[in-house]
Chains A and B, each alone.
Chain A
Amino acid sequence: MTLAVTTANGPGGSGTETGHGAGRPRVAAADHGAMWVYIVGDLFIFGGWFVFYLVYRAGEHTVFAESQAHLSQTMGLINTIILLVSSWLVALCVNAARARSYDEAARYAWLTILCGAVFAATKLYEWTSNIAEGRSFTSNDFFMFYYFLTAIHLFHVLCGFIVLGVLVRTLRTPALRSQGVIENCAAYWHMVDLLWVVIFALVYLLR
């Protein structure tokens, strides 16, 4: 995919400026192309699962409420804040790259990876704690959905490490630098954050 770097205030840059980094080289989100197709597709697939979750919850409300009480809502809160911070870091990374501060951008990318690793570690800890206390995938429909949704999400986080690896390599290698690749990688990580926001609300907090 070839992505054109534009200047928001320059010729041809109209319609691409959002107020972030005005006058700096950037790629319009319009140029993300295939990544948007993937993100929108993934959102609709997850959206279907979210609706299924609530329909099942409707049929077994007591089981779901009792099972949900065994989860650590505080751990869910920590996970959510970690991913929100990671999303902010990757947005700062894009902002720094637009200003051609590639070393700074790479530092933000590494911090994003660190947040992702902390998220994955806390998720594995949460799973092992639940399994050790006898709450597994087959315990009931709530835990089937809990493990399914969190596992599919964690898979996206793990894929995100590859994506963020590409981001770091792109930032560190002058010959490979492409604002389009940088912004595509960031958009993927924002999607990971966005999906977790909904999972946290539905699986951990809904009453």
Chain B
Amino acid sequence: MAARTHLTVILVLLVSVTVLSWYLGTGGGAHPMAPNLTISAAVLFIALLKVRLIMSEFMDVGTAPAWVRRASNAWLVLFFAALFMVHIAVSGG
């Protein structure tokens, strides 16, 4: 029962931040697609948080071999850093 409650709490958190991300990205469904670096950074950060939660709480990556933990952490750092930098370069240009 404790595990089920834990997983459900994680789901509620994931859905909550997803709705927040949608609200930020669309301005509450109004589709204002004007470039906005702050909102884009928040959307990317929320995606990063969700991926991390899915990996650690649903996939049990924490119990995986060391190379898997290193590779998944490297993926998170490498690609989200690249995504942030490319997007900042575009929006700041």
Contacts and interface: CB of A to CB of B under 8 A. Distances in A.
A33 B33 CA distance: 43
B2 to A, nearest CB: 8
A192 to B, nearest CB: 10
Contacts of A58: 86, 89-90, 93
B6 A29 contact: no
Interface string B59-93: 11111110010011001001100110011011001
Interface residues of B, number: 54
Interface residues of A, number: 56
A84 B14 contact: yes
Contacts, number: 154
Residues of A contacting B: mostly: helix
Given A30-B65, A206-B43, A50 B33 contact: no
Interface string A15-59: 111111100000011101000100010011001001100110110
A155 interface: no
B86 A54 contact: yes
Contacts of A61: 35, 90
A191 B75 CA distance: 13
Interface stretch (A66-74, A145-153, A165-173): A66-74
A205 B43 contact: yes
A189 to B, nearest CB: 9
Interface in B39-58: 39-40, 43-44, 46-47, 50-51, 54-55, 57-58
B26 A190 contact: no
A91 B14 CA distance: 14
A194 interface: yes
Contact of A88 (B7, B36, B50, B82): B7
10 contacts: A21-B3, A29-B63, A47-B78, A54-B86, A54-B90, A65-B35, A66-B33, A74-B22, A77-B18, A205-B25
